[in-house]
Structure 1
Amino acid sequence: MSDLMTYVYGVTRTDDALAERLAALEGVVGAPVHLISDGNGLALLASSVPAEDFREEALRRRLEDLDWLSAVARAHHGVVEAVAAYTTVLPLRLATVYLDDTRAREVLEAGRELFTDRLARLAGHVEWGVKVYVDPSAAPEPPPAPADTQLSPGRSYLRGRRQQQRHRDTAHQAARRAAEGIEAAGRAYASERARHRVQQGALAEAAGENVVNDAYLVPLERGEAFRAEVARAADGLAGVRVEITGPWAPYSFAMGPEETGDAAGAGP
């Protein structure tokens, strides 16, 4: 068995200028990036990587090493973003690997119709990420209810809890209004929307509760107008924060893992 495997980053249309741009680009594990062409204008962005790290069993173990996984992710996204600055890229999932270039080319040729369609759909578009957070602690507290000396400590506690719940409900209502404004901006400026799971636990690094985690596919010429409209969605809404990221290569609008052939690998 070969000591090297083929790692692929994405699908693009090839030309001589792109090949020259790749000459100075480093990919996963510092490997050079090359093109695997189908001979008809489509190509995979690829690198040769050590099989000892990327065979199925080894890769499964490696994915538990967060430092290694983070380095692979940075290199993968770095290649995709560098090429996306020049031409349309259909990103593939993180750690998509094939036995060799020949097998990768076979997958490219078999999926030519799908890849061509997806590239046409993504051409001239970028991805913007939009998250909405609710942070009731950032909103002004409502005035306390008048003191009632007749209330027992237990009843007084329950009244305070009800007041806190009303405060939380008010913040969530404001977040729904912000989300409605963002969706309206999406209808006006974006071609597509992708909904992701809200971030919780270790993924929820930002302050507040993440209640919306969406991505929008936006034509390049509409990007700044979309961003400005989304940024206004939380104006005047206490306890609500909108986070906008991008523009990115359109990861959320590529294909699912079942559409990338029989590669070994893991989703991003």
Structure 2
Amino acid sequence: MSDLLYLYGLIPANEAKEEPLPSIKGFDGEGELYTIDTGDVTAIVCSIDSETHSEEDLKDKIENDMEWLQEKAFHHHETVLMVSKMYTIVPLKFCTLYKSEDSLKDTVEGNRNKLLNTFSKLKGNEEWNLKIFCNDKELREEVSSSNPAIEEKRKEISELPKGRQFFEKKKIDQLIDQELENEKNRICEEVHEKLKEKAIEGSVKKNWGKDVTGRKENMAWNSVFLIAEDKVDQFTDEVNRYKEQLGKSGWSFEASGPWPPYHFSSFS
């Protein structure tokens, strides 16, 4: 049986010629990464033994061997991250495999124009992530004491007969919860739109749960931005301004990057 090709990413051929790929261990920890030239697009790959790493075997490990999965996913991430610091890269997802060099070249050829346009969009730009966390308890207290809608409801209840006040006050908690969510969305959307002014593109992603983040606070917002290299300092300065402005109200902001541009290179 022939080897499988494990594809990490695609880069412009001219960049590959200007800076040769350094020695990097591949997926199996034995062989090394190498390049396949397909004209103006160069593929970064490694070979893996199809007998010991059949598609069925890989699928089984991904589904049932968490230790193996974590090790290999970490290898993929670190390898693509390293390569992204050297070249303009269209990164591929974990375990993207091809049965032959011809099959890989056919795929590249069928997407050549799309790839070249993506290279042009990504060159000189970086992907950055912003995660916003909120201490709901702290913000809830602030909303409870300063929100106009809640103050109006309290005033309305105070003018009711004593018997009705007891039952109506229970609705205050529901209103506070509702206004808390409104306030969180308002602030996050304001921050996102302000940061998009510093970026070429920006999009919102699904929030992570506490089991993933390992934090006590809830994640209130998760977004990614494509930013020109010379605008990154402006972006991070703006994030730091929000940290200072809102940190005492239960908010925290985590900007990280640059990352391989997974969210802005639509090649699969």
The reply to whether residue 61 of structure 1 matches residue 72 of structure 2 is no
Displacement of 1:104 after TM fit? 1.5
2:219 alignment partner in structure 1: 210
Displacement of 1:88 after TM fit? 0.5
Query: Which amino acid is the alignment partner of residue 11 of structure 1?
Result: L
Render the CA deviation track for 1:9-37: whole Å, top value 9, x for unaligned: 11101333432x32x21232223110011
Say if 1:92 and 1:254, in contact at 8 Å, map to a contact too: no
Displacement of 1:170 after TM fit? 5.1
Query: Which amino acid is the alignment partner of residue 254 of structure 1?
Result: S
Pick from 219, 236, 253: which aligns with 1:242? 253
1:18 alignment partner in structure 2: 19
Displacement of 1:63 after TM fit? 0.9
Moved more, 42-51 or 204-213: 204-213
Displacement of 1:168 after TM fit? 4.3
The CA RMSD over aligned residues, in Å, is 2.8
Say if 2:135 and 2:218, in contact at 8 Å, map to a contact too: yes
Instruction: Give the distance between the partners of 1:225 and 1:27, measured in 2 at CA.
Output: 37
Say if 1:12 and 1:90, in contact at 8 Å, map to a contact too: yes
Q: TM-score, normalised by structure 2?
A: 0.79
1:47 alignment partner in structure 2: 46
Q: Percent identity?
A: 22
Q: Larger % of helix: which?
A: 2
Query: Which amino acid is the alignment partner of residue 106 of structure 1?
Result: D
1:100 alignment partner in structure 2: 100
1:195 alignment partner in structure 2: 204
Q: Secondary structure at the match of 1:63?
A: helix
Say if 2:11 and 2:42, in contact at 8 Å, map to a contact too: yes
Displacement of 1:200 after TM fit? 2.6
Say if 1:129 and 1:245, in contact at 8 Å, map to a contact too: yes
Taking the TM superposition and a 5 Å limit, the aligned residue runs for 1:213-228 are 213-228=222-237
Q: Secondary structure at the match of 1:189?
A: coil
Larger radius of gyration: 2
Instruction: Give the distance between the partners of 1:44 and 1:134, measured in 2 at CA.
Output: 42
Pick from 164, 167, 181: which aligns with 1:172? 181
2:82 alignment partner in structure 1: 82
Moved more, 162-171 or 236-245: 162-171
Instruction: Give the distance between the partners of 1:52 and 1:201, measured in 2 at CA.
Output: 40
Instruction: Give the distance between the partners of 1:190 and 1:98, measured in 2 at CA.
Output: 35
Say if 1:9 and 1:45, in contact at 8 Å, map to a contact too: yes
Displacement of 1:171 after TM fit? 4.3
Displacement of 1:164 after TM fit? 5.1
Displacement of 1:196 after TM fit? 1.6
Q: How many residues align?
A: 245
Query: Which amino acid is the alignment partner of residue 82 of structure 1?
Result: M
2:159 alignment partner in structure 1: none
Displacement of 1:116 after TM fit? 0.8
Query: Which amino acid is the alignment partner of residue 240 of structure 1?
Result: W
The 1:34/1:220 distance shift into structure 2, 3 A limit, reads same
Unaligned runs of 5+ in 1: 146-150, 261-268
Instruction: Give the distance between the partners of 2:173 and 2:52, measured in 1 at CA.
Output: 52
Query: Which amino acid is the alignment partner of residue 46 of structure 2?
Result: S
2:150 alignment partner in structure 1: none
Instruction: Give the distance between the partners of 1:56 and 1:231, measured in 2 at CA.
Output: 46
The 1:139/1:212 distance shift into structure 2, 3 A limit, reads closer
The 1:71/1:229 distance shift into structure 2, 3 A limit, reads same
Instruction: Give the distance between the partners of 1:6 and 1:112, measured in 2 at CA.
Output: 19
The 1:54/1:213 distance shift into structure 2, 3 A limit, reads farther
Instruction: Give the distance between the partners of 2:66 and 2:94, measured in 1 at CA.
Output: 14
Render the CA deviation track for 1:60-117: whole Å, top value 9, x for unaligned: 2111222212222222122222222122001111110011223222222222111111
